[in-house]
Structure 1
């Protein structure tokens, strides 16, 4: 396959966007546009797979962008892996959209921007100079903002799009400053030139902080995550899957490319900062998810949690690399990259399931759902697979990457710095807490949404979605099982990318007996997803056979026990709020400043009892609200600048010019 096929697929996606504008509301437009996106994503993903498998890099320069710089593009092992992740998510979303798009209320606002959003993410991963990276990064942000604004008639969606645009602009500004520091006064903007230079320790530390702010805001690190739970519910469901499952991974790619590749050898305290942020993000993300009633908002906060898990792995890799423990860094980075791929698979699956529920019922509030397992059996089964995977239950893929992360944490006693010796076990505790709460979160999400009885008339009229949507969900559910049962294949596949960033790799896994995975040595730890799967399948089959074949004569059917109240209302079922109440009472006072108000009428009073729960978003109230108030205050004070005379405007321009010249003189 030609090495330039990646840029060719990007050109095809750009052409598809033009075609979508031309076709407009034509009946054939949905299948044609999304079908072409599917083909382009499959071809680009296959090209990335071949680049990784062949362990070869490809580079080219196009006569675009700045005249003296050009646009540099390169595919090495790291970018090829992330291209595979991007196009896997893009192909699944395109297949799903071939059915979902027929029910889209504003297709002319989605179809033109969908292919260019895919193109933008591909271009970011292939960019090989600072200017091209920032240009395509902003292009990716603007196209995704347009998709969030697709249903702009709803005020909440406009607010979500505004906050997302502000956070995206803030992130781009931070990355712009970071690249400026890396390029230095000589202005070497190509990645090769930046890689060749070694910034001073103080400059490197400032770059790390700027990249954490810039890439972390796009990825969803706490406290930069505020746009994520607003934008994901506002966007159409396939776009939500792309933003959550794919775009956040492009941000992680940007962080890895700059910090582990361009910035040089890390200092040990870098890892302390990254690991701490990752642990806090994982714990707070899942706690916020447990409190949500909107299904898509719940999934958005769950993305925050999984981004935290990935950053824990990256932070561990930084710690081990700073101490020349490259073999341990390879383990930690493999865990992070594997979770990148796993999260793309199961989070896309879950958003597709949420979109199918929304299409069938028109509802996202899980308190109004229930009983969908009888009306949407395929969607229910695939959503259950995704829920088990994201809850890190074996033998599915989410377990493997989290287990590898814990294996890397267990190596922390070999690190000499006491700060890391204390911090890493603490973060390990946060990771264990997050994994446990994630299980509770998705038991709640699946149980309240799909089990029980319908809580509203719309659920009673629901039916299964179209075959394209089902095909996309079945494909991703199968990948969850494949990646969990045979993770050694994926670990070996990632070796070139891990070697590029750490200088070492995990041992070959395919040669192990029974296809086990052994992170370090057989005597220390091992895991066999295939044997676990066979054991679960056989034990379940034997149990079912025993009950239905051998004990059927002892069973009889009868009405469910109704506690003496026949024909009870569906609202008397266990609800999402009641499920989360114990966890809210444990953590709510600290994290959410939760307040409960109970109104209990006296005996004989026929008024209903009422429970009111008030939760506060402390991050928004303490960080973002004061900043917004300060901006409004400053805007009011600076408003008088609009009414100056020409002479005063010229004076301001002159002072600004002198100030910039002084900055340049001091810099050089």
Structure 2
């Protein structure tokens, strides 16, 4: 535990160096190198902690409030998420170093000056949340993480959309912190001790527990991106530099998932069945809506941010299933669902970081995030194209990559719904399973659209046609998560075995029987007798079939070179222009018409010139996010009205100020008297 705290202190020291010497030419190497080193130490410590077992590491520091102090504890659950956060920190630091150097060379000066001192602070804040063992330290670390990420978003303040994104982010972050503050207040009301050990020992009454469940879903869900609290995420995540966007989407959202797990599975005691029902409902809505949002985006980074919403929905579905099965006293199936959630946490952090890195590489090479201005990059950026293809296939849950294993494990838990006695839950799980299957299929369409428009076809702009491959550091930063996507897809069992201490801590059972460990490369859930998965065999079969297909094509097809006019969407001419290709909007039109016309009120507007007019036809799409109409706009009006009324307080006389202070004291004393009864 001392090593983790020392590494976090080192991150603060690196931030000081970045702030003091940010104009020096080599400071980015020091900041990103020091951050990666600290993250590597924490990740190694956490992996050894899980592999070796042993007692939980605890530490009490004489800081914070006088009667509370700072309680730090790293149990098995903390160790799992420490690996996720710091593995993301390592790859983001490597990519960020190359990203900063590329921008320094292309713009004649460092673009990461404001980022350098804030970047290690952001990672330090996330690590502090994971080891906090009392409510005060947890909330302080949570707010520190939020403020650091908010300032990182503001680092691109010259972008005209950034101030709006930062303003909405800080509002939603404040809302989430307020909900968490109330939740921990309710948990500690009975005994007045804010340490997690005391909260764990005094389970709240049913009514208080119900209130905490709602507050946690609102507080942590707003940070994770649960619909309809997701509105800040697609604005703030793309606004940050690409390696910071990868941390926010791939890692920070997992810290919010950790908060949900910590409270719902650990601090609240035995769950009620309806906790899981409500959680699954939110997860299913989030998964389907998130991928539909993503399908209508032409901005690469905004598309990836909305895809994060969809994947968070899948993780929350798994958590809801685990709560339901734990309440039904079927711990083995509960462990299976929770293992699917933790595996998807790791998987999403890898392939989403990889895809944001690829988006950053495209932005560096072309200067654009607009899909309709890309195209043909597979010829100009072949390494990035291969690595991005791995990420797109993984997030589409294609075997033998890691995204498939997480989805497969989650569906194994869904198929065990008949083990429940509540018919309402059986029906809900069937509906949730159908929603998850729909979201998975639409995710495949979404990333076929992304990859096909960005990397295939012909360049849609001069910048895309003149793009060059990014530097070695950026390519290596993409290669690490790409390799892990393949390795964890082929050999997932060792990682799940590493999770077993966390699973036994939360549901007091492991998800697999001896078949899963004999041999170690065979994955066989106990709760799904007869079903098993072997990524190694699947990889070999896919490779053999691919070889047979290629040899068959070469044997049967003629090797004579043939020339023909390419099809250009009806354009009849010897050299079809790039503008005649499918655009991102036209590619997604069928799905947009099938789903978006009702859900988002999406409308296509076609500007078709009259015969004889040489202007090109134009397609524009308008749509409305229901969350803005239902949640954001009414809240904005209410906040504006309250702010206008509260503004009068600064013009009161001294007599009225004293009166307000007296009334506030009376109200506070009444509240204390009521709670002490």
Superposed displacement of residue 133, structure 1: 0.5
Change (3 A) 1:23 1:500: same
Inter-partner Cα distance in structure 1 for 2:11 and 2:155: 19
Inter-partner Cα distance in structure 2 for 1:536 and 1:310: 28
Superposed displacement of residue 564, structure 1: 3.5
3-state SS, counterpart of residue 459 of structure 1:
helix
Q: Aligned residue for 2:194?
A: 189
Q: Aligned residue for 2:630?
A: 622
Superposed displacement of residue 601, structure 1: 4.5
Q: Contact 2:40–2:90 at 8 Å: present in 1 too? A: yes
Candidates 7, 14, 21, aligned match of 1:9 = 7
Q: Aligned residue for 2:648?
A: 640
3-state SS, counterpart of residue 605 of structure 2:
strand
Instruction: Give the root-mean-square deviation of aligned CA atoms.
Output: 1.5
Candidates 591, 595, 607, aligned match of 2:603 = 595
After superposing the two structures, state which structure 1 stretch, 302-311 or 149-158, moved more: 149-158
Inter-partner Cα distance in structure 2 for 1:27 and 1:359: 20
Aligned pairs (5 A) from 1:446-595: 446-507=451-512, 508=514, 511-513=517-519, 515-520=521-526, 523-548=529-554, 550-551=555-556, 554-562=559-567, 564-595=572-603
Q: Aligned residue for 1:649?
A: 657
Inter-partner Cα distance in structure 1 for 2:557 and 2:462: 35
Change (3 A) 1:354 1:264: same
Aligned pairs (5 A) from 1:64-463: 64-104=63-103, 105-463=110-468
Q: Contact 1:317–1:328 at 8 Å: present in 2 too? A: yes
Change (3 A) 1:600 1:95: closer
3-state SS, counterpart of residue 292 of structure 1:
coil
Taking structure 1 as the reference length, what is the TM-score of the superposition? 0.97
After superposition, what is the alpha-carbon deviation per residue over 1:240-262, rounded to whole angstroms, capped at 9, x for unaligned?
A: 00011110001100110011000
After superposition, what is the alpha-carbon deviation per residue over 1:533-564, rounded to whole angstroms, capped at 9, x for unaligned?
A: 0011122123324444x357543232443463
3-state SS, counterpart of residue 616 of structure 1:
coil
Q: Contact 2:220–2:256 at 8 Å: present in 1 too? A: yes
Inter-partner Cα distance in structure 2 for 1:504 and 1:204: 24
Change (3 A) 1:420 1:564: same
Inter-partner Cα distance in structure 1 for 2:528 and 2:132: 40
Inter-partner Cα distance in structure 2 for 1:162 and 1:126: 29
Q: Which runs of 5+ in 1 are unaligned?
A: none
Change (3 A) 1:28 1:337: same
Residue 613 in structure 1 maps to residue 621 in structure 2:
yes
Inter-partner Cα distance in structure 2 for 1:7 and 1:514: 34
After superposition, what is the alpha-carbon deviation per residue over 1:426-472, rounded to whole angstroms, capped at 9, x for unaligned?
A: 01111000000000000000000000111111111111111111111
Q: Aligned residue for 1:25?
A: 23
Q: Contact 2:606–2:620 at 8 Å: present in 1 too? A: yes
3-state SS, counterpart of residue 404 of structure 2:
helix
User: Matched residue pairs, number?
Assistant: 665
Q: Contact 2:416–2:528 at 8 Å: present in 1 too? A: no
Change (3 A) 1:597 1:95: closer
Q: Which runs of 5+ in 2 are unaligned?
A: 104-109
Inter-partner Cα distance in structure 2 for 1:172 and 1:641: 25
3-state SS, counterpart of residue 113 of structure 2:
helix
Q: Contact 1:52–1:77 at 8 Å: present in 2 too? A: yes
Inter-partner Cα distance in structure 1 for 2:501 and 2:46: 13
Superposed displacement of residue 607, structure 1: 5.0
